Amino acid sequence: MQELEWKTSCGCAKCRPALNYYLVCDWPDEYADDYQSRFINERVHANIQKDGTYSVVPRMWGGTTSSKELRAIADVVDKFDIPAVKVTGGQRIDMLGIRKEDLPAVWADLGKAGFVSGQAYAKGLRTVKTCVGNTWCRFGTQDSTGLGIRLEKFMWGSWTPAKLKLAVSGCPRNCAEATCKDIGIVCVDSGYEIHFAGAAGLDIRGTEVLGHAATEDEALEIVVALTQMYREQARYLERIYKWAKRIGTPEIRRQIIEDLPRRKAYFDRFVASQRFAQVDPWSERVSGKDKHEFKPMAVVGYQEAAE
Ligand code: SF4
């Protein structure tokens, strides 16, 4: 803060979250995340809605679920009288209209069923969308669901400069829409095409092909190393397609596809960081962390003034 000549002791709503991100990313082992420097959704681990209630999205690894998980969600919806349930574009279930003070109890019940936060609010890894791949589909060339689950289990909890959405399609028919994601994998007979820098939001952009991997392990290493390069080099809030435009795909390809020792070094730094990042924030709060954040504000009523 001194180096950057901050004019106030606390900074502002723009620079505080940015500085907090850079410190979390660069010193995951030493720096304690400052929750007061986070935006409201990241502070309370849910998405605030227009009426002041919150929505809750548990992880469904690679977009898969089970009867046990669905029953647990149905029970939570009934118990807390949750008014709306919606399937998201990221292949998971969103429960909407939850009061802030109910969040820890909702998370406690979801946690008992084995759910962790889907981090649908985070500037971090969101979803890994998949298709059914060669397990079920006649056209599938590889196990796209299995790779998606593996990637999500490896990468969940990681903070990134802006949100990061992945997808794995089992063949070029591309049912998981991998070619408009931040990072996408399209399985082919010879292995895995690694795509990146797509967008399907405020901007629409097809991905670029970064390279090809012959094995699932190699595909995972490339995706993780690319994510770490982006984590280290992008500006806070810069989506991967904007960062890629600024740095240039040839340079990213040179570092991630051609320079194998450098790729491995990025991969290792991501793995080291995950040792501190893969903590489920919901179960932490169920155990009482940041309890004050979920206390209702005082109910203010009108009282007739005594004559
Ligand atoms: S992308 Fe290919 S493998 Fe996956 S569901 Fe569609 S057709 Fe099948």
pLDDT at 188: 98
Report the alpha-carbon distance of residue 51 to residue 67 in Å, rounded: 32
Question: Residue 273: which pLDDT band, with cuts at 50, 70 and 90?
Answer: very high
In this predicted structure, the answer to whether residue 75 has a pLDDT above a threshold of 90 is yes
Mean per-residue pLDDT, 32-46: 90
Report the alpha-carbon distance of residue 107 to residue 55 in Å, rounded: 12
| Helix 67-79 vs helix 103-112: crossing angle, to nearest 10 | 150
Longest dimension (CA), the chain: 86
Reported CATH class of domain 123-279? alpha beta
Give the distance (Å) from ligand 1 centre to CA of residue 172: 7
pLDDT at 218: 98
Residue 216: its H or E element:
helix 216-233
The domain segmentation of the chain, as residue ranges, is 11-43, 45-121, 123-279
The atom of ligand 1 lying closest to the CA of 134 is: 3
User: Cβ(151)–Cβ(127) under 8 Å?
Assistant: no
- CATH of the structural domain 45-121, one choice from 3.90.850.10, 3.40.50.300, 3.90.480.10, 3.40.50.720: 3.90.480.10
Q: Whose CA is nearest to atom 5 of ligand 1?
A: 131
pTM for the predicted model, two decimal places: 0.94
Q: How many CA atoms lie within 13 A of 290 on its CB side?
A: 19
Mean per-residue pLDDT, 220-224: 98
The atom of ligand 1 lying closest to the CA of 171 is: 2
Give the distance (Å) from ligand 1 centre to CA of residue 66: 21
Give the distance (Å) from ligand 1 centre to CA of residue 190: 16
Mean per-residue pLDDT, 28-52: 92
In this predicted structure, the answer to whether residue 302 has a pLDDT above a threshold of 90 is no
Coil, helix or strand at residue 151: helix
**Which residue reads 């985070």 in tokens?**
122
Q: Whose CA is nearest to atom 6 of ligand 1?
A: 175
pLDDT at 289: 86
Where residue 187 falls (left for φ over 0; alpha for ψ -120 to 50; beta otherwise) is beta
pLDDT at 304: 54
Give the distance (Å) from ligand 1 centre to CA of residue 170: 5
| CB-based burial, 162-175: b 16+ in 10 Å, e otherwise | bbbbbbbbbbeebb
Give the distance (Å) from ligand 1 centre to CA of residue 232: 34
Candidate of 64, 91, 129, 131 to mutate for ligand 1, largest count of ligand atoms within 8 Å of Cβ? 131
The atom of ligand 1 lying closest to the CA of 141 is: 3
Give the distance (Å) from ligand 1 centre to CA of residue 133: 6
Question: Residue 9: which pLDDT band, with cuts at 50, 70 and 90?
Answer: confident
Report the alpha-carbon distance of residue 246 to residue 233 in Å, rounded: 11
**Residue ranges around ligand 1 (CB below 6 Å):** 131-133, 137, 139-140, 144, 169-171, 173-175
Question: Residue 5: which pLDDT band, with cuts at 50, 70 and 90?
Answer: confident
Where residue 59 falls (left for φ over 0; alpha for ψ -120 to 50; beta otherwise) is beta
In this predicted structure, the answer to whether residue 305 has a pLDDT above a threshold of 70 is no
